[in-house]
Amino acid sequence: MTKSYTEESMVLESQSTANWTDECHSSQDEHDMDKKNGMHDDMQKEMEDDEEGMNRLDEDDDDEDDEEEEDGDDTKPKRRGPKKKKMTKARLQRFKMRRIKANARERNRMHGLNDALESLRKVVPCYSKTQKLSKIETLRLAKNYIWALSEILRSGKSPDLMSFVQALCKGLSQPTTNLVAGCLQLNPRTFLPEQSQEIPPHMQTASASFTAHPYSYQTPGLPSPPYGTMDSSHIFHVKPHAYGSALEPFFETALTDCTSPSFDGPLSPPLSVNGNFSFKHEPSSEFEKNYAFTMHYQAAGLAGPQGHASLYASSSQRCDIPMENIMSYEGHSHHERVMNAQLNAIFHES
């Protein structure tokens, strides 16, 4: 393993590996993990040395004071300033010990972070055990998801399918976009830039109106593609509007869609007071059948009409969804449970 060597670590390197070769009561867990992760041979050797050093720490610690006084080299002129402590064997070992413990903590911390990320993967659309979203894509999708749901809550209107998916995929890489589309049983090409002209006029309108995502990834500081390639403001060449007003057309369109012949239900908020969160987009043509997509979250026990009823006109007014079109999230029931819990929390906390 190549490391960024510091003075201290180089000393460590040269002294420790040569001297501490005896008893090794190393942690089997760490070794297994390292092997699993394809740890370098010399890295493993290093770890072994570290652990040996740890085991011998107690013995050597007793000698520390004596060794610290061994500084007596009279031939060199004395240096001013704070005396730099000599890196004695004991100090080296203490340093190594600290380093080992710090490494372990850091590993645990990162594992905790990864666990949290894994939890996040499970509650955003497109959870798959087999094809995991990358960390960065998970965060981006989650952010888009939260944003989209917030807008639904804020406006109290159902978004149309295409715009919702576009919102989800905003700023995501092409592969992730495909993945999300696949999970939602959509054809990703239907909302990719080069295919935009194939989108039915009403969908183009809806999509175009959803282009003012305030947190677009099309910013100079971000890495070059594939990131940021899905910003629909450049997809549809529509001028971004200011946040807030920008979404209104999107939800207005959704409203229109919901009252169009494609929807047999009345005007309906996607998320009712009872926590019934549902989209409906019944395909009205062969073309649209490709986009069959639904979400249906049943959140029992959420605040009743007295709670957040004011947000939405009536909990009984919903666009219900044909169950045959239910989205194909892996672990959908789990997803639902988590969502229910989250909605519960949201409604009960506010």
Phi, psi values for residue 158, rounded to 5° = -80, 130
Give the C-alpha separation, 31 to 33, whole Å.
5
* Cβ–Cβ < 8 Å for 12, 44: no
SS (H, E, C) 88-148: CHHHHHHHHHHHHHHHHHHHHHHHHHHHHHHHHHHHCCCCCCCCCCCHHHHHHHHHHHHHH
- The span of 28-36, 204-212, 296-304, 342-350 binding DNA (CB under 7 A) equals 28-36
What is d(CA 149, CA 159) in angstroms, rounded to the nearest whole number? 10
Residue for token pair 């969502």? 339
Q: Of 17, 43, 185, 187, which one interacts with DNA (CB under 7 A)? A: 43
Spatial distance between the Cα atoms of 68 and 87, rounded to a whole number of angstroms: 8
Name the amino acid, one letter, at 20: W
Query: Which of 30, 52 has the CB closer to DNA?
Result: 30
Span of 20-28, 106-114, 191-199, 241-249 interacting with DNA by CB under 7 A: 106-114
Residue 231 has a CB neighbour count (10 Å cut-off) of: 21
Stretch that binds DNA, among 135-143, 251-259, 277-285, 311-319 (CB under 7 A): 135-143
Judged by beta carbon, residue 30 or residue 257, the one nearer DNA is 30
Asked whether position 132 contacts DNA by CB under 7 A, the answer is yes
Residue 86 near DNA by CB under 7 A: no
Query: Would you say 69 or 286 has its CB closer to DNA?
Result: 69
Asked if residue 57 binds DNA (CB under 7 A), the reply is no
**Closest by Cα among 304, 258, 259, 302 to 281:** 258
330 binds DNA per the rule CB under 7 A: no
- 136 makes contact with DNA (CB under 7 A): yes
Residue 222 binds DNA, judged by CB under 7 A: no
With CA atoms as reference, report the closest residue to 123 among 340, 350, 345, 344. 340
How many CB atoms neighbour CB 49 within 10 A?
21
91 lines the binding site for DNA (CB under 7 A): no
The two structure tokens encoding residue 122: 């499970």
- Residue from 52, 60, 137, 151 touching DNA (CB under 7 A): that is 137
Which of 14, 23, 27, 33 forms a contact with DNA (CB under 7 A)?
33
Nearer to DNA, 136 or 326 (CB): 136
Using CB under 7 A, pick the residue from 14, 63, 65, 101 that binds DNA.
Answer: 101
111 in contact with DNA (CB under 7 A) = yes
**Three-class SS state of 210:** coil
Q: What is the CA radius of gyration of the chain?
A: 29
Pick between residue 24 and residue 33 the one whose CB is nearest to DNA.
33
CB 117 → DNA: shortest distance, Å? 8
Find the helix or strand (DSSP H, E) in which 24 lies: none
Binding site for DNA (CB under 7 A): 1-4, 6, 8-9, 30, 33-34, 37-40, 43, 46-47, 94, 98-99, 101-107, 109-111, 114, 132, 134-137, 173, 223-224, 226
